[in-house]
Amino acid sequence: MIIQPYLRGLDLPRHPAPRADTPVPLTELHAFPDISTAAKTHHAKRFGSAAEILCDSLLMRLGIDSHPSPEFQAFDRLIYLNDRPLRLQIKVRLSAENNAFWFKVAHGNPRHASGVRGYRHDAFDLLALVILHHNVVKFSASKASQQQIALSEIPRLRDNPFKSLRSAFNALEVSETLDEAPAQLNAA
């Protein structure tokens, strides 16, 4: 706990306002995905990490190793396909609007001087769109600043997670020699 030493002449308020960084109890996360906006905001980094781990798990089950990149990079993971490095950017959404999960493909902080901005066209090669509470990942080679996963796509993505990755590889014109992945990776 941080304690401010008393300074002579400084009048402290009788009832200090609650700190903005007061932790949201972790027990609030037990109701995920039905949690407050404050909890979503407070634990945004935690959800981002969970999305990265879900991507790692899926890629590993497909025989693809992924390597974390430093936070200052414009991509989250580096994967190798036939000795070709591919930079993977991972985005997560926690709620749907208008029958879809909408992803804003941008980076930055709205409270920072540089704000939120789009990625350079060459910042990453591959995009992973993650819906955590459905355990679904959709891979894309598109650089569009706004992307979506329709609610109707979720069962297909869950049943065959390799299909969107193969489509993204084809769009990148990457010749992949991966074995055909089993259709039901999640059936265990």
For residue 165, report the phi and psi dihedrals to the nearest 5 degrees.
-70, -45
How far is residue 6's CA from residue 22's CA, in Å, rounded to a whole number? 22
Task: Show pLDDT as tens, one digit a residue, over the chain (188 residues).
Answer: 566 666 676 666 665 555 556 665 677 888 888 888 888 888 889 999 999 999 999 999 988 999 999 988 989 999 998 888 999 999 999 999 999 999 998 887 777 777 777 788 888 999 999 999 999 999 999 999 899 999 999 999 999 988 999 999 999 988 665 555 444 444 44
Tokens of 62: 């497909």
The predicted structure's pLDDT at residue 178: 55
The predicted structure's pLDDT at residue 20: 58
Domain residue ranges of the chain, discontinuous segments joined by +: 36-109+116-171
Going by the DSSP 8-state scheme, the letter that residue 74 receives in this structure is S
Tokens of 109: 């902080």
Distances (CA, A) of 3 to 6, 26, 43: 9, 24, 25
Architecture of domain 36-109+116-171: 3-Layer(aba) Sandwich (3.40)
